[in-house]
A and B are shown apart, each in its own frame.
Chain A
Amino acid sequence: MPIADRVAVRLRINGEEAALMVPPYKTLLEVLREDLGLTGTKHGCELGECSTCGVLVDGTPYLSCLAMPLDLEGRAITTIEGLQDGSRPHALQVAFAELGAAQCGYCTPAMLLTAKALLDRDPRPTRQAIMDALSGVLCRCTGYLKIFEAVELAALRATTPPSRAEGGSRHD
């Protein structure tokens, strides 16, 4: 495609600045996966009907398949690659791994980021609050229960002194 059809866009993703030339109609999803190699963000419909492509924008769950990069300049975008701290996994990632909350793993990045947004605003959510927060992300494997339990476990560990949180896991 001719270079004239592209526009310059500057995005802040996982704390890093990325300057790109992309066609203006490319969605954030496409730019993340195709131009930046951030393939941890998945796609299930590309129409906003499953939220598999979920990322965070300024800490809020967004649908990358419907978001236009030009609209997101100056905003902080977080993808699953930005959830862990260096090579240290986030508490939610540990809990998801321990409780089998990721079966096929395909909705998992969006689930994790959505759960992070929840815990950032409500550190000890009720089961109902978790269900509400995750209601926009479809999962076909788990029946959601292990996901709810993993969010609760991560919340418990994050809000309990380390010695007491140890007993939080049902599984040793």
Chain B
Amino acid sequence: MTDELAVVGKSLVKPDAFAKVSGQTKFADDLALPRMLFGRLLRSPHPHAQILNIDVSRARVLPGVLAVLTGDDLPVKFGILPVSQDEEALAREKVRYVGDPIAAVAAVDEWTAEEAIELIDIQFKELPASMSIEESIAMRGEPIHGKSNVHKAVALEFGDTDAAMDAAEHLREDVVFFEGNTHLPMEQHAALAQYGADGKLTLWTSSQTPHYVHRALGKVLEMPMSRIRVIATPNGGGFGGKSDIFSHELVAARLAIVTGRPVKITLTREEVFYAHRGRHPVLMQVKTGFKKDGRITAMQFKSFLDGGGYGSYGVASTYYTGALQATTYAIPRYRFEGVRLFTNKPPCGPKRGHGTPQPRFALETHLDKVAEELGLDPVEIRRRNLPRPDSRTVNWLRITSCGLEQCIDRVVEESRFLRRWKSMAPGRGLGFAVSSYLSGAGTAIYWNDMPHSEVQLKLDRNGGVAVLCGAIDIGQGSDHILAAIVAEVLGVQLDDIQLTTADTDLTPIDLGSYSSRVTFMAGNAAKAAAERVRDRLFGVASKALHCETDELVARDRRIYRRGRPGDGISFAQAVQLAEAEGGVVTGTGSYTPPKLAGPYKGSGVGPSPAYSFSAAVVEVDIDTKTGEVRVPEVWIAHDIGRAINPVLVEGQVEGSVYMALGEVLMEEQVFRLGLHKFPSLLEYKSPTALETPVIHTYLIETIDREGPFGAKEAGQGPLLPVIPAVANAIHNAIGVRIDEIPITPDKVLKALSDKSKRVGPKAIPAFDFPALVKSDVPDEWKGK
């Protein structure tokens, strides 16, 4: 009984819930300071142009304008990745997409700022623009950056794939395309900067990654980081869209320094589309060899990423399009070639699933086609290629817990997939797909030996526990994770926890709310900190209770001897004893992932201390006369390791399903005449309440040995199988293949009436990938 968990595993109300339902949560734009000014950015009207001259004289003299900045005021380049420091807060020599910031003003109100922006005169020399992968490879005129439009090209091979292909009994090759889309958080990004008379700068910002913003501010403003404080405000939705460093953050800071007054910049909805960093458009070719029984012998995968105007996370995105094929399936030999091309569009970056939904779509539809050719059902072909728990993939990724098989069992059973998929009513279809995802990147953006997450605790004499951590809640429930884990270890209740998060002056580092890392990493750091403090409390309690520390348990706000709840002291008493004995009761904990990178160049992207797994069955209902696709029901199982809070995990799964359905059926970031075609919430289509399917969510617990209480990620992985499951269901329903996301009704009709019964790309462009980096395969794959 006493070893049963008291907080972890319970669907308790999260600590920030009541602030959110009362409207009391302060998002960045809700903040206002006395004498605050309003900043606005002037953005490029051209997709690609040289800046010949900028004249700000008319803007400067407009009454109410306090400052005007151009690129020369912030000349230091930056970028989220150390290898891609290619951005300027305000473009100096040229602009690379419509929306690229060029100048900024601070004024007494937003109207004046807007008016001032329009008084800035710029002379451009327009350059030919590259608006697609093909145009970028062809390159008319000058490159977007440096000497070529190729941002990053990679080529990796694990074992001899050509030989394995030759030996295969069945081969198939497919080419598919996944159009770009964007995060569309309901909150527009905002930042408020204040520069004190003491020479210290504070920036409140709607950011998933305050630590990286802190670094970039230090670099770009050429100020010691010790004089800069970054406070991340709760994000009104992130999904990866607020995990970069943005012009408006740096500009607000500089404007505050220049004017000596607080400056707030809130992006308009249109500007959020230009800030972007969303899903890359990716053209892919997948070629796989199989044995007759459906077992994979080798895979060769090529991806072409349309990167937009800047690097952002693109190097990582490129690798991610090739990394997780082998964590989902046992692939004995594997080759991956990927290239990211600069184009004159807003920069792409990480969106939920970062670089993996596109190859997941390619792979899961490819496997369905192969299953049909081999006479297998879609479930069986996956079962024959499952990864094993406690194994290493051919590309050296370490898998610990793996509940993929249980996930498959559950959704196949609950949806009655095998009994129904061949006898669906007209227009109805069932589709199946599986996936895996990281629980945090195993290597940090800045390679160093320091922890990825740190937590500090300070205990109050009355039993309160202050938890300090750099993690920021973006709606995913990270505040709850921290509070629940500390409360569990210390035997207190959620109400006893006071959280201070994401404040670089006060909180120890957490690298940010990205790559599904917070539960695993901040959770482990919180657990370590709490265990350290508990040990100290057990030390004093054991003296008071005349017993050994290993006889003690902490529960119900008490510390007592196991099995004898009456024989103990209150938690507050224990704190008082500890404080009397050794002063203030604090404790810290950190988490550093094990060294997981394989022995090859490029091995830093893909490793994670644990992988989550998901399986989904989707039912579609197609109007074959119009091509419209409706999704009435979804069954999804997710290997969460352990659900720290089941209701919050369900929320992540349901939200992932929602976002996936938006991506597969309607969302697309498309361009016309060099401009974003429809940078608005009305015309960028996002599913409404009326399109919500019935979603059956099953949480599979595998208790990962390294996860906090066994937990793994939930925020991103469940999105992955849903997109290809819809595509597979459409094929099941009406026999057509739409090898291009999104699947719009016109494409469905086109496929129905075309002889090929298919819509999608036919080939990949010619491109010289670099020489393959050949890696040996891990021992367990040798000779296979």
Contact = CB atoms under 8 A, between A and B. Distances in A.
A and B directly contacting (CB within 8 A)? yes
Interface of A: 1, 33-34, 39-47, 49-50, 52, 79-81, 83-84, 89, 92-94, 96-100, 102-109, 112, 130-132, 134-148, 170-172
A100 B20 contact: no
28 contacts: A41-B23, A42-B236, A43-B29, A44-B188, A45-B681, A49-B681, A50-B681, A80-B23, A93-B21, A94-B21, A98-B13, A103-B655, A104-B187, A104-B475, A105-B25, A106-B236, A106-B237, A108-B23, A135-B690, A136-B688, A140-B658, A140-B659, A141-B651, A142-B655, A143-B692, A144-B658, A148-B692, A172-B10
B269 A97 contact: no
Given A47-B682, A104-B237, A172-B11, A42 B187 contact: yes
B464 interface: no
Given A103-B655, A136-B688, 10 more contacts: A47-B682, A97-B17, A105-B21, A108-B23, A131-B692, A135-B690, A138-B686, A140-B184, A146-B654, A171-B647
B24 interface: yes
B650 interface: yes
A47 B690 contact: no
Contacts of A44: 186-188, 269, 681
A103 B23 contact: no
Contacts of A136: 688
From B23, B654, B655, B657, name the one whose CB has the most chain A CB atoms within 10 angstroms: B23
Contacts of B658: 140, 142-144
Please report whether the interface of chain A is mostly helix, strand, loop or mixed according to DSSP: loop
Contacts of B238: 104
B21 A97 contact: yes
A9 to B, nearest CB: 18
Given A49-B682, A112-B21, A140 B237 contact: yes
Contact of A100 (B183, B237, B647, B690): B647
Contacts of A142: 651, 654-655, 658
B26 interface: yes
B269 A103 contact: no
Given A93-B18, A146-B650, A106 B27 contact: yes
Interface in B637-683: 646-648, 650-651, 654-659, 680-682
B17 A104 contact: no
B79 interface: no
B105 to A, nearest CB: 17
A143 B680 contact: no
Contacts of B14: 97, 100
Contact of A140 (B186, B657, B690): B186
Interface string B174-213: 0000000001111110000000000000000000000000
Contacts of B23: 39-41, 79-81, 108-109
A172 B474 CA distance: 25
A45 B680 contact: yes
Contacts of A137: 689
A112 to B, nearest CB: 6
A46 B185 CA distance: 14
B186 A107 contact: yes
Contact of B186 (A40, A94, A139, A145): A139
Interface in B6-36: 10-11, 13-14, 16-27, 29-30, 32
B234 interface: yes
B655 A141 contact: yes
A102 B17 contact: yes
B409 interface: no
Contacts of B504: none
Contacts of A139: 186, 689
Interface string B395-435: 00000000000000000000000000000000000000000
A94 B18 CA distance: 8
A52 B236 CA distance: 11
Nearest to A97: B17
A130 B688 CA distance: 12
A52 B186 contact: yes
B480 to A, nearest CB: 9
Contacts of B648: 100
B692 A108 contact: no
Given A96-B21, A108-B20, A47 B657 contact: no
Which residue, B20, B185, B186, has most C-beta atoms of chain A within 10 A? B186
Contacts of B236: 42, 104-106
B237 A145 contact: no
Contacts of A100: 11, 14, 17, 477, 647-648, 650-651
A45 B678 CA distance: 13
Given A45-B269, A47-B680, A140-B186, A89 B690 contact: no
A130 B692 CA distance: 12
Nearest to A90: B21
A39 B750 CA distance: 48
Nearest to B476: A103
Nearest to A113: B23
Contacts of B650: 100, 146
A79 B23 CA distance: 9
Contacts of A42: 27, 186-187, 236
A1 B109 contact: yes
B34 to A, nearest CB: 13
B285 interface: no
A139 B13 CA distance: 20
B695 A143 contact: yes
A134 B690 CA distance: 8
A134 B21 CA distance: 16
Contacts of A98: 13, 17
Contacts of B32: 34
B573 interface: no
A144 B692 contact: yes
A92 to B, nearest CB: 8
A97 B13 contact: yes
B601 to A, nearest CB: 38
B586 to A, nearest CB: 31
Contacts of B19: 105
Given A50-B681, A139-B186, A143-B692, A104 B21 contact: no
A118 B20 CA distance: 20
A81 B651 CA distance: 25
B728 interface: no
A38 B41 CA distance: 26
Contacts of B646: 171
A34 B264 CA distance: 13
A145 B692 contact: yes
A92 B21 CA distance: 9
Contact of B695 (A50, A92, A94, A145): A145
Contacts of B680: 45, 47, 49
B239 interface: yes
A52 to B, nearest CB: 6
B715 to A, nearest CB: 10
Top-4 shortest CB links A-B? A40-B23, A104-B475, A105-B20, A143-B658
Nearest to B238: A104
